[in-house]
Chains A and B, each alone.
Chain A
């Protein structure tokens, strides 16, 4: 990628416990996390992690419990300090910040949302949201104004003076989100923010997060252990195992091209139809007819390809319509223009749409669906191609 990374992780390792030296030696020889723990008593939370996070993307980190996800993001605001390696926020090396610099980095650049909300129960909603501004010594009026703005954004207007204990889980996490946004950070760290919520509320919150993201365009680093959540939210997803990052890819690439069996197994439970775009399943239409071609030509094409519909494009490959065999015959018999006999049953879809979007359309379609990009015909999808793709993956 050409963009400059907002966060750059280089060779980051984090070991918990004493006797690091021996552990590092073992790890360099390729020992596993459990072997190291057994031999030396050292827990390998992270080992040689490398990646970059770009501005405005939602970067999801997924992995089983204990795989090091929390440890990793906590290094980003230095709630954890890496044992070795380096993390850059833009041009600043996080591990080199002085205490003072660290505090202003946390105040201005990076905010965090916690799994169990991390709210201060002795403060009401608005003063929780104000907290980050308060420690930054922002004036009372400005602070209140900003807090109210954020409270409104997360849909909590009206309850700003309620005590935290009176809120439901979903509302609490909205407060957590508003508090994080109030500081106007560039980066948002979210450590399993929706794991404590029940499924329906979780869905709401995911939607909320995406719409806020669309408005504010933050860089979000999001941890989850729910593969569907990861694929739904993530522009890119990193899979972790035993302190190592195994694969980083877009959801689609991960599904079509898992790095190893572990990843394959991990994404098994994912609802692929929500991730894979129709681009993945479209096939080349066997019968394309130009607008300038006549009805006779169309009939010959269809007959020779043994299909009952043809896709009509102009010389720029722009999609103009679909002609059925019946329509073509009528056009020939009446000596009319084929464009007068285009079928009303044609269905089109954009290349970016997911298979999930295409499913209900395909169910009702009499003819294959035309897949377009910038109005150009790219391919078609048939019911059969949809089903076989889903069965394969």
Chain B
């Protein structure tokens, strides 16, 4: 007997799974279409908004935000130059596309993730259910998220948004939960002792106290979305990631380097500017 061979093999009918998913897609066609349209609308609106703004306004805005958050005009100018560099090498349009997918995904992640985070912060039971799901989501390879998105929504930006949202939603949920749970229990008790209703305690005390942590979650979500959007170019999401993918496929090193640098610059900008929120709030704690 060959000790290197499995004694027997089970043949899994992978096509059956494909079929099941496709059947699902057909059955829920209406729902999926609605989601698709909705997401498309969101994406287009974001992109239109970004396109309307002249490039120099955006650059100046970045300079201003950079200055406001660090207090140093020099840092602001450096941030502005980084954005300017992306535009001057002819990647402005692609950058805007990438940015709009990121913004749409982050908006969706926060919109869904924040309430989920609040829910599991107030209910240990819900927390017990959601935690393992989040753990699994974080250990799964990035590509796995692309498959169901493609199967249900085909190729393009819409499935990219879906995959990105699912991938990037974890940190906002986790950190909202953590932030709320970490609020000094005496402070929460004080809120109760003075006759706050549950929602008053949440709105007036718990969320504001947890704000820096929640914002750290938004920052992480943003960074994960940025990473995912680049990966999502494999399912046809246009933008900077696509440019990188093409250059890799064609072994065009120069083009790859330029577009790759643009991705990095954009990522750094998003990271720095969004970290500002966390710090600003932290100071008066």
Please indicate whether A and B come from the same complex rather than being unrelated chains: yes
- Known A-B contacts A119-B187, A121-B209; the reply to A111 vs B284 at CB < 8 A is no
Closest to B201 in A: A135
Once A118-B186, A135-B200 are accepted as A-B contacts, the answer to whether A165 and B195 lie under 8 Å apart by CB is no
A300: Cβ under 8 A from any B Cβ: no
Q: How far is the CB of B282 from chain A (nearest CB, A)?
A: 10
A183 contacts chain B at the CB level, 8 A cutoff: yes
How many residue pairs, one in A and one in B, have C-beta atoms under 8 Å apart?
73
Chain A residues positioned under 8 Å from B192 (CB to CB): 79, 106
**Pair B194/A107 contact, Cβ less than 8 Å:** yes
Interface residue from A104, A121, A122, A123 paired with B195 (Cβ < 8 Å): A104
Q: Does A365 belong to the interface (CB within 8 Å)?
A: no
A104-148: CB near B (< 8 Å → 1, else 0) gives 111110011011111111110000000110111000000000000
A189 to B193 alpha-carbon distance, docked (Å): 10
In the complex the two chains form, is B285's CB within 8 Å of A118's CB?
A: no
Report chain B residues within 8 Å CB of A106.
192-195
Within 8 A of B (CB), among A224-264: none
Chain A: residues with CB nearer than 8 A to chain B? 77, 79, 103-108, 111-112, 114-123, 131-132, 134-136, 163, 165, 179, 183, 189
Are B194 and A111 in contact, CB atoms less than 8 angstroms apart?
A: yes
In the bound complex, CA of A107 to CA of B208 (Å): 22
- B131 interface contact, C-beta 8 A: no
> Which residues 139-190 of B sit at the A interface, judged by CB distance below 8 A?
184, 186-187, 189-190
| Chain B neighbourhood of A77, CB < 8 A | 193
- Flag if B193 contacts A111 (CB, 8 Å): yes
What does DSSP make chain B's interface, helix, strand, loop or mixed?
helix
CB–CB B208/A120 < 8 A: yes
How long is the Cα–Cα vector from A115 to B156 in the complex, in angstroms?
58
Chain B: minimal CB distance from A128 (Å): 9
9 nearest A-B residue pairs (beta carbon): A107-B195, A118-B190, A106-B195, A132-B194, A112-B193, A118-B186, A122-B208, A135-B196, A103-B195
Question: Inside 8 A of B204's CB, which chain A residues have their CB?
Answer: 120, 131, 134-135
Task: Tell me if A112 and B190 are in contact (CB < 8 A).
Answer: yes
Residues of A within 8 A of B208 (CB): 120, 122-123
Q: Are A121 and B193 neighbours in the complex by a CB distance under 8 Å?
A: no
> Is B189 in contact with A79, judged by CB distance below 8 angstroms?
yes
Which residues of B have CB within 8 Å of A123?
A: 208
State in angstroms the CA–CA spacing of A120 and B284 once bound together.
11
Q: CB distance B195 to A118 under 8 Å?
A: no
Instruction: Apart from A121-B284, A122-B285, A135-B204, list 16 A-B contacts with CB within 8 A.
Output: A79-B189, A79-B192, A79-B193, A105-B195, A106-B193, A106-B195, A108-B195, A111-B193, A112-B194, A116-B184, A118-B184, A119-B187, A122-B211, A163-B284, A165-B285, A183-B194
Q: B186 near A122 (CB under 8 angstroms)? A: no
Q: Which residues of chain A are within 8 angstroms of B186 by Cβ–Cβ distance?
A: 114-118
Question: What is the distance, in angstroms, from B187's C-beta to the closest C-beta of chain A?
Answer: 5
Contact present for B187 and A120 (CB under 8 Å): yes
Q: Which residues of A contact B205 (CB under 8 A)?
A: 120
